[in-house]
Structure formats: C-alpha cells, structure tokens
Amino acid sequence: MDIGKLSMLVETEVSCELLTKKQLASKLGISTRTLDVWIASRKIPFIKVGGIVRFNWSRVREALDAFEVKEASRA
C-alpha cells in the first residue's frame, strides 16, 4: 500500500471517530455543562442512541465554523 492511500485511510478513520461528551468537552476546552447547553440548543450535531450521546468530530467542527466571527473590513 502506498503512503498516499495509507494517509487517506488514516484520515478517514480519524474523521469518523465518535467522541464522548467528556472527550469532546476536553478537545474544545469547555465544560461538559456548556456542552449540554449546546446540545439542548442544537448548536452542535450529535448522535443519540438510547441514552448514549456521541459526536462526530468533523461535523462538530463544521457546525462551529458557522459561529466564526469574521474580521471587520476597514474602509
């Protein structure tokens, strides 16, 4: 297997990784309580099966990118 295919395979595996609330909160540098508020207000996508909640990191990043504040243009 060449390096390019291996790199793409690893990237796909990582982007499909499902994170727990604790893992995601740690990765974002926020509390799990803040994450609970974001879940309740549907600010970030999540997967819920029964009582278990998981997060797809790439989809969370896409959702959070929508909240990025752009620099004001100077005239």
12-64 confidence digits (pLDDT tens): 555 568 999 999 999 999 999 999 999 999 999 999 999 999 999 999 999 99
pLDDT of 70: 85
pLDDT of 68 over the 60 cut: yes
- What is the DSSP-derived secondary structure letter of residue 20? -
- Residue 55: closest CA among 6, 10, 12, 19: 19
Task: Tell me the pTM.
Answer: 0.70
Joined together, the tokens standing for residue 50 give 């029964």
Q: Compute the average pLDDT of residues 64-70.
A: 90
Report how far apart, in Å, the C-alpha atoms of 74 and of each of 8, 44, 68, 71 are.
40, 32, 18, 9
